[in-house]
Amino acid sequence: MSKDLSNYRKSYEKQELLESNCPENPMELFQTWFKLADESDTIFETNAMSISTIGKDGFPKNRVVLLKKFTWEGFIFYTNYTSEKGKAIAENNRICLSFFWAGLEQQIIIKGKAEKLAENLSDGYFDSRPDGSKLGAWASNQSEIVSSREELDKNLKTFEDKFEGKEINRPKHWGGYLVKPISIEFWQGRPNRMHDRLRYSLQKDFSWKLERLAP
């Protein structure tokens, strides 16, 4: 199958991003952009983000996960600690997160270090999940090879029976990560591919240095 994509292009003309409009702390700008994206009718899942890790095979791998919270410290998501991404983070906790909000012609690219959340914080979030999602965390050996869909359904039924009428506690292999950023780049599409790219870099004194990058 062959399809020529060379003429797929779009002129970005919605907004601009100037240093004079940027706060000292990038988390303030992230909060502003996230709120605009969340209120936009053009964006389906504002908190969907790609996460890139380096596996034991030396290859980077991207996948989409959901951001569940952001604070002044960083960005929180949850996963199976024994999954492919969990094992990769255990080996190398330097990861990259990115958001792309096409309706606003914006990207945010975050480099940071991931660390496990305290167990009580993971417990608190797990308790807020629907029972089906809780059972899924028990039933799925994430990233492992399975023989069929039937095997997955059988595993789920096993845990449905096990926890019937009981509280579904958090499995120890499942929990949260906090990604503490060391670099946050804000990308705003502009005409003629002359996009605005402003990067915040964390300094030794924990201040942030703001620099413009060529598009």
Q: What DSSP character marks residue 169?
A: P
Answer yes or no: 193 catalytic. yes
Report the candidate in 153, 77, 141 with the shortest Cα–Cα distance to residue 115.
77
- Residue of 170, 193, 197, 212 marked catalytic: 193
DSSP assignment string, 105-156: TEEEEEEEEEEEPPHHHHHHHHHHS-HHHHHHHHH--TTS--S-HHHHHHHH
Report the candidate in 186, 211, 205 with the shortest Cα–Cα distance to residue 105.
186
The bridge status of strand 75-80 relative to strand 174-188 is: antiparallel
**Two structure tokens written together for 154:** 């059988």
**Two structure tokens written together for 24:** 């000292």
Report the candidate in 80, 75, 81 with the shortest Cα–Cα distance to residue 95.
75
Which residue numbers are catalytic? Answer: 193
